[in-house]
Chain A
Amino acid sequence: MSALPVVVEGLGKRFGATTALDGVSLEVRPAELYGLVGPDGGGKTTLFRILTTLLVPDAGTATVLGRDVVRDLWEIRSRVGYMPGRFSLYGDLSVEENLRFFASVFGTSLEEGYSVIAPIYRQIEPFRDRRAAALSGGMKQKLALSCALVHRPELLLLDEPTTGVDAVSRREFWDLLDELRASGLTIVVSTPYMDEASRCDRVALLQGGRVLAIDAPAAIGSRFPRALFAVRARERAALLAALRAFPHTASAFPFGTTIHYSDARGGMAPAVIAAELRGHLAAFALTDVDVAPVAPGIEDAFIELMGTAGAEAA
């Protein structure tokens, strides 16, 4: 029996003609903040539902806290905390009533669980008599996290906890996860947003039910195989067309305020490529052109890995 909090091997799950999970294998280490990163349809929610024993896999095995997700479902359920992607509290109950309800379902009480949830619950405690439905997005999220923690779980599973909340609440939420992890709790969290992956110790990139890569966030960017450049001009659509007309283009796509360009030729100094690019772009009606080497990030690596794994759409 494994000491790892989560061990998944060759997990598969189909819904009719749709393959939700296709041979997924991963391991989560104790006190790790582990990210499942990928777009909608990547398989994140299906994986969570299997880990929380709400779905039975078609293929493969999964153990949670050393217990099998099919055989030992009742033990797993009492030892994990789960925050589903959709708001799942009782809107007509108050903040405190929700907490007491979830505590009682797990055979405990708000008082027994208080020390665990205190850092989070204190922020919403002034509103303890307010109906949950009347809370702001950020406060709902903190209440849902408190409800998932009140029975002192050994593993916390969070499915897209930050979708739909603003950047300030999102940052506060990730700060809370840092504190929980520092207290020794193992956390698995999913997000469709690549920029949130950097807050995790390790991430698994999921696409179309398959794992594209597993690594530390910083290491994933370095998997990008070519020199990468951030190219700017005021005329973005024209710049993109000009870059794609360059004979040595491996990839060119919008990336924030810039276009990310990678060169198909290996072994050339970035400065030489940049100079050639500037020369090429000078022939086009572009203003304020700038070409600068840039370190590839997770999103660059994800796009590259999707290309090799087969993209969803043409």
Chain B
Amino acid sequence: MSRKDGGSAHAITVRGLTRRFGSFTAVDDISFDVSAGEVFGFLGANGAGKTTAIKMLIGLLAPSAGEARVAGHDIGTDAERVRQRIGYMSQRFSLYEDLTVRENIALYGGIYGLSDAEIRARGDALLEGLRLAPHADALVRSLPLGWKQKMAFSVAMLHEPAVVFLDEPTGGVDPVTRRQFWELIYAAAARGTTVFVTTHYLDEAEYCDRISIMVDGRIGAIGTPDALKAEFGATTLDDVFVRLVRGAGAAAGA
């Protein structure tokens, strides 16, 4: 099944989502949809409201207004179900360094509620796919960074989530490992998993099917990388981002 078949199913639906902290509105009435099997980049300047929005989408923070459905469940009324249907990988802190590769798999499999048989079968498939089988009993601490990151992604996918959230997934890795990582992401997306990527790096955003850019709590722009470049008359997404954010910040100052 192609992830581009225009399927009607939205993995993420956001309508008027808002979060206030006292008199400060961190996320201000945002609305967007992400299709099943889409690789969606979620960008914004420091302090634009990205982290607050993501915390709401993964069920860790209640909205002040508006609503969102993730993997078919309402984040306000069904946050527990949302958390069971998503995976999450942050840049470096997803795995336990003092546990072995296999122990990490068993730990996360258990947390996600997999049976022992499922943990064994999926764990073996994971080790096989990443060619990590010879290192199954090595401490994660001893693995090269690139291996750790590919493994962290695969562990976040262990319970076959509908949506996986990735925070700066390829920061700091070498260009070859980076491409192997994106191939893992594309393969997951082609199987129907929705991939939600947050990053500061616009060249990383180029790998996404569609991106949105948050500015001052709102969605300032949304579209495919090529469409955004055309819309802003820019040759790179970096230029799109700078124009958008500088335009908004001109009044507020540095």
Contact = CB atoms under 8 A, between A and B. Distances in A.
A126 to B, nearest CB: 9
A168 B203 contact: no
A255 B190 CA distance: 17
A167 B200 contact: yes
B238 interface: yes
A256 to B, nearest CB: 3
Contacts of B238: 167, 171, 195
Interface in A99-153: 123, 136-139
Contacts of A314: 131
B46 A306 contact: no
The residue among A42, A192, A299, A313 with the most chain B CB atoms within 10 A of its own CB is: A313
A207 to B, nearest CB: 6
Interface residues of A, number: 45
Contacts of A137: 46
Contacts of B201: 167, 193
Given A40-B145, A41-B145, A234 B200 contact: no
Interface string B148-182: 00100000000000000000000111111101101
A243 interface: no
Contacts of A168: 45, 241-242, 245-246, 249
A256 B225 contact: yes
Interface string A295-314: 00001001100110001111
A273 interface: no
B183 A207 contact: no
Interface string A148-171: 000000000000000111111111
A312 B186 contact: no
B204 to A, nearest CB: 9
Contact of A256 (B45, B186, B207, B241): B207
Contact of A166 (B4, B175, B200, B206): B200
Contacts of A311: 174, 176
A254 interface: yes
Nearest to B243: A168
A222 interface: no
A169 B175 contact: no
A227 B134 CA distance: 38
A253 interface: yes
A271 interface: no
Interface in B182-229: 182-183, 186-187, 189-190, 200-203, 206-207, 224-226
Contacts of B2: 235, 238
A302 B175 contact: yes
Nearest to A252: B179
B144 interface: yes
B225 A257 contact: yes
Contacts of B189: 237
B47 A313 contact: no
Contacts of B150: 313
Contact of B144 (A236, A255, A306, A312): A312
A254 B179 contact: yes
A209 interface: no
B146 interface: yes
B179 A167 contact: no
A291 to B, nearest CB: 16
A302 B177 CA distance: 12
Contact of A40 (B173, B176, B249, B254): B173
Contacts of A237: 183, 186-187, 189-190
B147 interface: yes
Contacts of A253: 179, 183
A163 B173 CA distance: 13
Contacts of A170: 200
21 contacts: A39-B173, A41-B144, A137-B46, A166-B45, A167-B241, A168-B245, A168-B246, A192-B173, A194-B175, A235-B2, A236-B186, A238-B2, A238-B190, A240-B186, A256-B203, A257-B224, A302-B175, A311-B174, A312-B146, A313-B147, A313-B176
Given A39-B172, A170-B200, A195-B202, 15 more contacts: A136-B47, A165-B46, A166-B46, A167-B45, A167-B238, A168-B249, A171-B238, A194-B175, A195-B203, A237-B183, A256-B207, A257-B224, A303-B179, A306-B174, A314-B131
Interface of B: 2-4, 44-47, 131, 144-147, 150, 171-177, 179-180, 182-183, 186-187, 189-190, 200-203, 206-207, 224-226, 238, 241-242, 245-246, 249, 254
